[in-house]
């Protein structure tokens, strides 16, 4: 009997897990760095960083990537010393560790693109090895003057770093408690396990240590998990998190206990060597373990392809049944089956889309590292604030969107923020702020904003640079900034506050994703870029309509309203650039003839009888697009137009509606903007346009 | 049907271990992603073999072995340690607290299969 498994087959899974571990390692190293700057220890982050590297090392050894094994090994060694020092790391260690992570990441990317991992770069291992000596000079942390009330069994199993974590937590005003959880078969059957308890408790505080204690336990069990926590939560909430009695809570610090003069007894054994690992809650661990399954994106794409084929086939089936019905055939049962089939397809579509969703927070996890690099390269003091919550979006959208966000954040730090001296001179705090916020809308759109408190965009300087008149609106200014190749990097850099490449951002957000990009800026105060992008772009509900003899589709989510166009109530005001206005609930909305935008020749003076209009938001303002007739709403599979020669602004792709004929899928707002420019409204709204 | 509990915080590593042991006929596998989860599972149902990483969240493999050997019911449970920690001190300590085998990553599929087969057949008598 011989094992026939080839561990090289695990390379794709290895790469996915290595990416995840690297993301975690970067987060923990950034947390360590932030503590180092404040002169504090961060034992938990040091241990997590160590563990991530240790796992990378083990996995890399299994798939035979020696260079990563070596780098991870030396990084581990220096971290072991930091752990011995109670989670303190010399400031000089941070950069070589960052370099180590970058080098591991570089090799993971090489492997992902089918290339062999390059050997360890010259000097890196020596620099990492030198950290060992540097770290040795860092003495153990001075314990905080708090006595922990622990029984001998627990006290003996608590490391110096964990003890310090608890005492420092108490010193900073949090409660140190012991929560006892007793597992059992019945509890496990109802989903209450040590994993679920850890997950719930993690939301209520910081888990410093979890210890299994065997022996008679409350409620008749024979095992107790003692969770040592720092928390502000009340006992009742903690008990509930542990599934209620027989769980119990007790404080680890006596109310009357005086602060001792001497240091509490501490175990003398080394930390990471003596006990292989001791860890506390970490959300990504929960995600990686338990009921989570990691799937390669190509497999999800394949599932989507199969679904796409089913969707197209269903459209053909629907058409065939309609023809049979029209011919008088008895199709009642067939129609019922078709309806049921439609429901099933919609459910399957929703399930597949859910599978493809990734957390925006995970997508953006590299941005703190980017800002850290920019902080070093520009010498600017800058803080990145992320407010992304639990929003999710399709992996395909995330992959396209990330470069645009990276670009905006990079520009904000590199160009928009002033130097610390300039900021102080104009009365701003020395440290600039770049804030990325994100909210998932119910309408299938994700709203993101990148805000800086820098110098704002100087419309005059931008116009001078571009050789155009000074734009009077923010949209006009954005148009100039988004001109291909436009750059304010050199001469105008100090005054414009915006670098080159905004055309790339607009191309991604608007042309590729069918979203929207807007600008808000105030000189001397700062700039915000607003993006709205669809959560998913591959499968969507579309409105299908006819215009000038051809069928088109448009995403339902982008259409605000459908209205009938009453020719008698159209207004064509004089001096309004010939834009016809249509009444919509008492207000006038510009009405654009879609066939003209599409350059579909049609004799002037169409009757308009029975014509409809689709109202969409174009740069925040409603615009109506006149079409001949609506054909209905259906689910479509969007196929991007890959050929650059046929890539047209306002056309986001093509679809097959089931009859084998390709149908263009339009982004009406982009089409209107590209063909007609900004619609001139008789009375521009006040307040939103802030550009000078 | 012999039940194997595979404990490692890396899912890929657990999958690798399972793939290596799959040729042994009739084995069924349970995964645990932490030492705590392993201890909970061991306290709730019997297993025939424990394959255990050393470096894990919560508590490490050594503590799991110590816990297991402290339980009468689990005293004879065969344990294979699979670890990146290849130093002699780790090996000595793991075997001293009661692990039956100590394997260093990278291990070959044949090597772990051979160890598992030996232990399972020894247990079966």
Whether ipTM > 0.90 holds is no
User: How many helices (H) and strands (E) in chain B?
Assistant: 5, 5
Distance (Å) of CA A11 to CA A60, A360, A524, A635: 9, 26, 51, 37
Q: Choose among B20, B33, B59: nearest Cβ to A288.
A: B33
CA-based nearest distance A479→chain B, Å = 48
B15–A4 CB contact, under 8 Å: no
- pLDDT recorded at residue A608: 45
A692 close to A460: Cβ distance less than 8 angstroms: yes
A45 close to A87: Cβ distance less than 8 angstroms: yes
CA-based nearest distance A592→chain B, Å = 56
CA-based nearest distance B29→chain A, Å = 14
Report the DSSP beta bridge partners of residue A634.
Answer: A542
Mean pLDDT of chain A: 79
Average pLDDT for A9-22:
88
- pLDDT recorded at residue A248: 87
B9–A285 CB contact, under 8 Å: yes
Average pLDDT for B41-54:
93
Residue partners of A572: CB distance under 8 A and separation at least 6: A578, A579, A580, A581
Average pLDDT for A385-407:
86
Residues of B in contact with A62 (CB under 8 A): 13, 16, 105-107
A184 Cβ under 8 Å from any chain B Cβ: yes
**What 3-state DSSP class applies to B115?**
helix
pLDDT at A133 over 50: yes
Comparing A183-197, A468-482, A494-508, which segment has the lowest mean pLDDT? A494-508
- pLDDT recorded at residue A466: 83
- The values of phi and psi at residue A605, to 5°, are 75, 40
CA-based nearest distance A18→chain B, Å = 10
CA–CA dist A588, A473 (Å, integer)? 21
For an interface test with B, the pick among A11, A50, A53, A58 (most B C-beta atoms closer than 10 Å) comes out as: A58
Could you tell me which chain B residue has the CA closest to the CA of A157? B63
Comparing A84-88, A428-432, A607-611, B39-43, which segment has the lowest mean pLDDT? A607-611
A3 Cβ under 8 Å from any chain B Cβ: yes
For an interface test with A, the pick among B5, B6, B8, B12 (most A C-beta atoms closer than 10 Å) comes out as: B12
Percent of chain A with pLDDT over 90: 17
pLDDT at A573 over 90: no
Average pLDDT for A584-596:
83
Q: Choose among A4, A210, A279: nearest Cβ to B23.
A: A4
Residue partners of A416: CB distance under 8 A and separation at least 6: A452, A454, A455, A456, A457, A497, A498, A526, A527
A115 Cβ under 8 Å from any chain B Cβ: no
Residue partners of A600: CB distance under 8 A and separation at least 6: A547, A548, A549, A550
pLDDT at A250 over 90: no
CA-based nearest distance B88→chain A, Å = 12
Report the DSSP beta bridge partners of residue A618.
Answer: A621
CA-based nearest distance B81→chain A, Å = 12
B43–A59 CB contact, under 8 Å: no
Put simply, the chain A residues between 7 and 26 with a CB less than 8 A from any chain B CB are 7, 9-10, 13-14, 16-17
Between residues A108 and A47, which one has the greater pLDDT? A108
For an interface test with A, the pick among B6, B21, B36, B37 (most A C-beta atoms closer than 10 Å) comes out as: B36
CA–CA dist B92, B99 (Å, integer)? 10
A277–B23 CB contact, under 8 Å: no
Could you tell me which chain B residue has the CA closest to the CA of A183? B40
Q: Choose among A10, A183, A211: nearest Cβ to B43.
A: A183
pLDDT at A269 over 50: no
Put simply, the chain A residues between 48 and 77 with a CB less than 8 A from any chain B CB are 51, 54-55, 57-59, 61-62, 64
Q: Which structure tokens are listed for A298?
A: 């190509």
Put simply, the chain A residues between 193 and 232 with a CB less than 8 A from any chain B CB are 193-195, 198, 210-212, 214, 222-223, 225
CA-based nearest distance A306→chain B, Å = 27
Q: pLDDT band at residue A77, thresholds of 50, 70 and 90?
A: confident
- The values of phi and psi at residue A219, to 5°, are 80, 10
Report the DSSP beta bridge partners of residue A175.
Answer: A231
Could you tell me which chain A residue has the CA closest to the CA of B9? A289
- pLDDT recorded at residue A42: 80
Q: Which structure tokens are listed for A529?
A: 């870029």
pLDDT at A495 over 60: no
A223–B40 CB contact, under 8 Å: yes
- pLDDT recorded at residue A4: 67
Q: pLDDT band at residue B56, thresholds of 50, 70 and 90?
A: confident
Distance (Å) of CA A534 to CA A14, A365, A439, B40: 31, 21, 12, 44
CA–CA dist A412, A660 (Å, integer)? 47
Average pLDDT for A633-654:
72
Q: pLDDT band at residue B79, thresholds of 50, 70 and 90?
A: very high
- The values of phi and psi at residue A206, to 5°, are -110, 125
3-class SS string, A31-77: HHHHHHHCCCCCHHHHHHHHHHHHHHHHHHHHCCCHHHHHHHHHHHH
Sign of CA dihedral A88, A92, A98, A99: negative
Report the DSSP beta bridge partners of residue A433.
Answer: A383
A2–B110 CB contact, under 8 Å: yes
Q: pLDDT band at residue A578, thresholds of 50, 70 and 90?
A: low
- pLDDT recorded at residue A286: 38
Q: Is A160 exposed, middle or buried, given 0-12, 13-18 or 19+ CB atoms closer than 10 A?
A: buried
- pLDDT recorded at residue A259: 41
pLDDT at A289 over 70: no
- Of A688, A675, A690, A552, give the one whose Cα is nearest residue A623: A675
A285–B83 CB contact, under 8 Å: no
Q: How many CB pairs under 8 A join A and B?
A: 158
pLDDT at A688 over 60: no
For an interface test with B, the pick among A277, A281, A291 (most B C-beta atoms closer than 10 Å) comes out as: A277
A17–B16 CB contact, under 8 Å: no
Q: pLDDT band at residue A456, thresholds of 50, 70 and 90?
A: very high
Q: What is the pLDDT of residues A470-491, one digit of tens each?
A: 998 888 899 888 887 776 554 4
User: Which of A321-325, A621-625, A676-680 has the highest average model confidence (pLDDT)?
Assistant: A321-325
B9–A4 CB contact, under 8 Å: no
Which runs of consecutive H residues, i.e. helices, occur in A113-159?
A: 124-136, 152-156
For an interface test with B, the pick among A289, A293, A294 (most B C-beta atoms closer than 10 Å) comes out as: A289
A63 close to A11: Cβ distance less than 8 angstroms: yes
A245 Cβ under 8 Å from any chain B Cβ: no
Percent of chain B with pLDDT over 90: 62
pTM for the structure as a whole? 0.58
CA–CA dist A58, A69 (Å, integer)? 7
Residues of B in contact with A295 (CB under 8 A): none
Over the Cα atoms of chain B, what is R_g?
A: 13
HSE toward the beta carbon, residue A392, CA cutoff 13 A: 9
- pLDDT recorded at residue A273: 35
A618 close to A673: Cβ distance less than 8 angstroms: yes
Residues of A in contact with B89 (CB under 8 A): 273
CA–CA dist A224, A202 (Å, integer)? 18
Q: pLDDT band at residue A575, thresholds of 50, 70 and 90?
A: low
Distance (Å) of CA B91 to CA A84, A169, A177: 21, 36, 35
- pLDDT recorded at residue A601: 63
CA–CA dist B68, B45 (Å, integer)? 13
A210–B36 CB contact, under 8 Å: yes
Comparing A152-156, A205-209, A405-409, A516-520, which segment has the lowest mean pLDDT? A152-156
- Of A520, A471, A483, give the one whose Cα is nearest residue A690: A520
A46 close to A87: Cβ distance less than 8 angstroms: yes
- pLDDT recorded at residue A256: 46
CA–CA dist A571, A138 (Å, integer)? 79
**What 3-state DSSP class applies to A118?**
coil
Query: What's A590's DSSP letter?
Result: E
- Of B82, B87, B68, B62, give the one whose Cα is nearest residue B17: B82
CA-based nearest distance A531→chain B, Å = 36
CA-based nearest distance A157→chain B, Å = 10
Average pLDDT for A89-118:
88
- pLDDT recorded at residue B99: 93
């Amino acid at each position: 009997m011989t094992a026939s498994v080839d561990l090289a087959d695990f390379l794709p899974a290895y790469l996915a897990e290595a990416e995840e571990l690297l993301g975690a390692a970067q987060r923990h190293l950034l947390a360590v760095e932030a503590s180092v700057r404040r002169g504090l220890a961060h034992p938990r982050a040091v241990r997590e960083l160590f563990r991530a590297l240790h796992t990378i090392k083990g996995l890399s050894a299994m798939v035979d990537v020696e260079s990563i094994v070596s780098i991870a090994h030396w990084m581990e060694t220096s971290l072991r010393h930091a752990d011995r020092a109670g989670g303190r790391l010399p400031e000089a260690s941070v950069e070589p560790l960052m370099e180590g992570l970058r080098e591991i990441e570089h090799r993971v990317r090489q492997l992902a693109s089918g290339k062999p991992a390059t050997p360890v770069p010259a000097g890196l291992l020596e620099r990492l090895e030198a950290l060992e000596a540097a770290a040795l000079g860092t003495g153990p942390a001075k314990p905080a003057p708090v006595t922990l009330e622990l029984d001998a069994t627990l006290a003996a199993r608590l490391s110096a770093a964990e003890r310090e974590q608890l005492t420092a937590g108490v010193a900073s005003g949090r409660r140190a408690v012991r929560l006892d959880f007793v597992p059992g078969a019945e509890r496990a059957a109802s989903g209450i396990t040590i994993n679920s308890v850890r997950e719930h408790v993690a939301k209520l505080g910081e888990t410093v240590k979890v210890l299994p204690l065997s022996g008679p336990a409350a409620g008749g069990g024979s095992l107790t998990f003692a969770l040592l926590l720092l928390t502000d939560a009340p006992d009742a909430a903690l008990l509930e998190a542990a599934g209620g009695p027989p769980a119990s809570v007790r404080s680890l610090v006596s109310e009357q206990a005086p602060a001792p003069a001497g240091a509490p007894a501490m175990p003398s054994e080394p930390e990471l060597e003596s006990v292989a690992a001791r860890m506390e809650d970490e959300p990504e661990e929960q995600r990686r373990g338990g009921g989570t399954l990691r799937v390669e994106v190509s497999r999800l794409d394949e599932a989507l392809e199969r679904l796409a084929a089913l969707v197209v086939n269903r459209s053909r089936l629907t058409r065939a049944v309609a023809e049979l019905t029209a011919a008088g055939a008895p199709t009642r049962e067939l129609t019922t089956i078709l309806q049921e089939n439609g429901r099933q397809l919609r459910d399957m579509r929703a399930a597949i889309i859910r599978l493809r969703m990734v957390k925006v927070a995970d997508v953006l996890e590299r941005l703190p590292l980017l800002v850290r690099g920019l902080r070093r390269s520009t010498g600017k003091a800058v803080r990145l604030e992320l407010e992304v919550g639990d929003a999710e979006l399709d992996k395909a959208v995330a992959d396209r969107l990330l470069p645009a966000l990276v670009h905006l954040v990079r520009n904000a730090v590199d160009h928009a923020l002033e130097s610390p001296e300039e900021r102080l001179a104009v009365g701003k705090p020395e440290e600039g702020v770049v804030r990325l916020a994100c909210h998932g809308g119910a309408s299938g759109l994700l709203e993101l904003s990148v805000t800086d408190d820098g110098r704002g965009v100087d419309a005059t300087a931008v116009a001078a640079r571009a050789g155009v008149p000074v734009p009077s609106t923010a949209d006009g200014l954005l148009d100039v900034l988004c001109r291909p190749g436009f750059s304010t990097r050199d001469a105008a850099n100090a005054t414009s506050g915006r670098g080159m490449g905004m055309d790339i951002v607009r191309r991604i957000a608007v042309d590729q994703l069918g979203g929207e990009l807007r600008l808000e800026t105030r000189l001397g105060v700062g700039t915000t870029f607003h993006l709205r992008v669809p959560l998913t772009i591959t499968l969507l509900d579309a409105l299908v309509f006819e215009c000038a003899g051809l069928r088109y589709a448009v995403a339902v989510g982008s259409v605000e309203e459908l209205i009938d166009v009453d020719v008698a109530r159209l207004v064509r005001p004089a001096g309004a650039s010939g834009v016809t206005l249509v009444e919509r609930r008492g207000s006038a909305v510009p009405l654009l003839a879609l066939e003209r935008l599409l350059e579909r020749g049609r004799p002037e003076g169409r009757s308009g009888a029975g014509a409809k209009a689709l109202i969409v938001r174009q740069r925040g303002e409603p615009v109506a697009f006149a079409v001949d007739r609506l054909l209905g709403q259906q689910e479509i599979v969007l196929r991007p137009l890959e050929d650059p020669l046929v890539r047209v602004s306002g056309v986001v792709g093509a679809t097959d509606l089931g009859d084998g004929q390709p149908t263009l899928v339009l982004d009406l707002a982009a089409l209107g903007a590209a063909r007609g420019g900004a619609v001139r409204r008789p009375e521009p709204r006040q307040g939103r346009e802030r550009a000078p | 049907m012999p039940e194997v509990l595979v404990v490692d915080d890396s899912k890929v590593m657990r999958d690798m271990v399972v793939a290596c042991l799959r040729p042994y006929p009739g084995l069924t596998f349970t995964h645990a992603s932490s030492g705590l989860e392993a201890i909970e599972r061991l306290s709730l149902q019997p297993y025939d073999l424990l394959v255990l990483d050393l470096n894990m969240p919560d508590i490490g493999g050594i503590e799991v072995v110590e816990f297991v050997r402290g339980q009468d019911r689990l005293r004879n449970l065969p344990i294979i340690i699979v670890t990146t920690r290849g130093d002699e001190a780790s090996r000595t300590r793991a075997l001293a607290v009661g692990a039956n085998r100590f394997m260093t990553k990278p291990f070959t599929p044949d090597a772990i299969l051979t160890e598992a087969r030996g232990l399972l057949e020894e247990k079966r008598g």
